[in-house]
Structure 1
Amino acid sequence: MESVTEIRQGVTRLARRLRAVRAPGALSNNKLGVLGNLYRGGPASPGELAEAEHQQPQSLTRVFAELEADGLVSRARDQRDGRQSVLSLTPAGKDALRREVAERDAWLGSAMGELTETERQVLLLAARLMDRLADSP
């Protein structure tokens, strides 16, 4: 299916370009993903965050530890299950996430300025559809 290939290629190229906009010393994509999930969904267990990131919890152990050491997330015992921990976004984590996203949004906003209003609306619709697709099993 040619359309599937074209969509995949477009999404991949845009994702690469957005990653390239990052400033030196920027947070890794894994860290941004965790912070973004905590921002959108609130406190979560490491397992829930790993599932949301489509990764194994062991793969994110270091990421969680580094985010906690940097004061971007806090860890507490789960009230329902004391064996589990729950990670929460700290105010410093929100600020870091905002700074990181602002750089990429600034570039994207500038690039989108070259599009017509109709093209921007089509792109917004496509973004919403891609977000839905990303949640598909």
Structure 2
Amino acid sequence: MAAEQPAHENLSAGIRQGVVRLARRLGAERPADGLSLNKSSVLGHLRRNGPMSAGALAAADRQQPQSLTRVFAELQRDGLISRTRDDRDGRQRLLEITEAGREALAHDMAQRDAWLDTALTGLNETERQVLLLAARLMDRLADS
């Protein structure tokens, strides 16, 4: 008889599988003209956290700043972010989402949100509240 897995391993595997499957399904709902994952991630960080330096933004996204240099340049070229001098440290430049960036991010998320809204109608109120709590907890886990 096979040894039973500890409960935390079943929990970890179950969460990982659910998150991966949902991420893939949401990815399939991306609009054809949507933003790249890196661009939407950068814009999302700036929308949630306000202006940030390139280094802080890369760290928040668990990437090297050099890996995002082209993404930052393209976002600025397209008018989705702006760069301003940091008032506290004149040597630093801060990246900030523009109104066009907010609109592009909203457009990018709209199709996925519409699919998710439809899928959530098949759940009862308690299940929706459990998912909301789980989403908050996953955010905390992602920040750890």
Per the normalisation by structure 2, the TM-score is 0.91
Structure 2 portions without partners, runs of 5+? 1-8
Question: Which segments of structure 1 move beyond 4 Å, counting only runs of 4 or more?
Answer: none
Note if contact 2:30-2:109 (Cα within 8 Å) is conserved in structure 1.
Answer: no
Structure 2 counterpart of 1:42: 50
Matches within 5 A, 1:1-137: 1-136=9-144
The size of the alignment, in residue pairs, is 136
- Alpha-carbon offset, residue 82 of structure 1: 2.2
> Which has the larger Rg?
2
- Alpha-carbon offset, residue 36 of structure 1: 0.7
Q: Which amino acid aligns with 1:2?
A: N
Pairwise CA RMSD of aligned residues?
0.9
CA distance in 2, matches of 1:113, 1:85: 44
Q: Which amino acid aligns with 1:100?
A: D
- Alpha-carbon offset, residue 83 of structure 1: 2.0
Identity of aligned residues (%): 65
Structure 1 SS opposite 2:89: coil
Per the normalisation by structure 1, the TM-score is 0.95
- Alpha-carbon offset, residue 23 of structure 1: 1.1
Structure 1 portions without partners, runs of 5+? none
Structure 1 SS opposite 2:88: coil
CA distance in 1, matches of 2:126, 2:86: 47
**Which has the higher mean CA deviation after the structures are superposed, 38-47 or 97-106?**
97-106
CA distance in 2, matches of 1:82, 1:65: 20
CA distance in 2, matches of 1:10, 1:29: 20
